[in-house]
Amino acid sequence: MHEQDFTERDIYVTGTLVWYYYICKREVWLMAHQIKPDQDDSNIDLGRFIQEHSYQRDKKEISVGHIKLDILRHDKGRLVVGEVKKSSKYETSATMQLAFYLLELRQAGVEAVGELMFPKEKKKIKVELNEKLISTLEEAKKNIVRIIYQEAPQAPQKIAFCRNCAYAELCWA
Ligand code: SF4
């Protein structure tokens, strides 16, 4: 397929792909092409554990399509939804992923603001949709589609994240 044939309706950009887009474009391709990493990876398990054991009190969720977010509270007619992350190290990724979910909610008729929560650091960051954030997100989504339609992933590039990446063996064995 040639680049000019790309259309967003052919594929589905997910929040997870948005997250990885800001970390490693090769990983976006690998994930989108359903190349399975090692599921026993301890970092993946830790992420799941934190997600399952943090902020469990008053847990309510909202689902839109494939998205499931924790509802924290209502604020001036808007929902406040939260996402738990194990570290603020990848704050841009986390912010853009949550913005992606907020936009999906808006498109489903639900106005919401987001809160990123880093329980280990006792830190919270507010994420609110505005024109600039939406346009950055739309640009990222287009680029993700372009990456996915490439015939092969980009060559691996050593970054700090590689140490914790489930694809490390595939990239660096
Ligand atoms: S190991 Fe590194 S280069 Fe390979 S997919 Fe993961 S982050 Fe990207």
Nearest residue CA, atom 4 of ligand 1? 171
Domain region containing 61? 3-172
Q: Best mutation site among 22, 23, 24 for ligand 1, i.e. most ligand atoms within 8 A of its Cβ?
A: 24
Binding site membership of 94 for ligand 1 (Cβ less than 6 Å): no
Report pLDDT digits (tens) over 21-56: 999 999 999 999 888 766 555 454 445 544 544 444
Instruction: Determine the atom of ligand 1 nearest the C-alpha atom of 156.
Output: 3
Give me the pLDDT at residue 38, please.
60
Q: C-alpha distances in angstroms, 27 versus 39, 42, 107? A: 15, 18, 27
Give the Cβ contact number of residue 10 at 10 Å.
11
- What stretch of H or E contains 107? helix 91-107
User: Any idea what the CATH number is for the domain that residue 120 is in?
Assistant: 3.90.320
Binding site membership of 29 for ligand 1 (Cβ less than 6 Å): no
Nearest residue CA, atom 2 of ligand 1? 162
Structurally, the chain folds into a number of domains equal to 1
Binding site membership of 25 for ligand 1 (Cβ less than 6 Å): no
Give me the pLDDT at residue 56, please.
46
Report pLDDT digits (tens) over 47-87: 554 454 444 445 688 876 666 788 888 888 888 998 888 88
Please report which confidence band the pLDDT of residue 133 belongs to, taking 50, 70 and 90 as the band edges. Answer: very high
Its pTM stands at: 0.81
State the average pLDDT over residues 104-124: 91
Given the structure tokens 């998205």, which residue do they identify? 67
Instruction: Determine the atom of ligand 1 nearest the C-alpha atom of 161.
Output: 7
Please report which confidence band the pLDDT of residue 100 belongs to, taking 50, 70 and 90 as the band edges. Answer: very high
In whole numbers, what is the pLDDT of the chain averaged over residues? Answer: 82
Residue 161 or residue 45, greater confidence? 161
- What stretch of H or E contains 145? helix 131-148
Binding site membership of 141 for ligand 1 (Cβ less than 6 Å): no
Look at residue 108 and tell me whether its pLDDT is greater than 80.
Answer: yes
Binding site membership of 168 for ligand 1 (Cβ less than 6 Å): yes
Give me the pLDDT at residue 164, please.
85
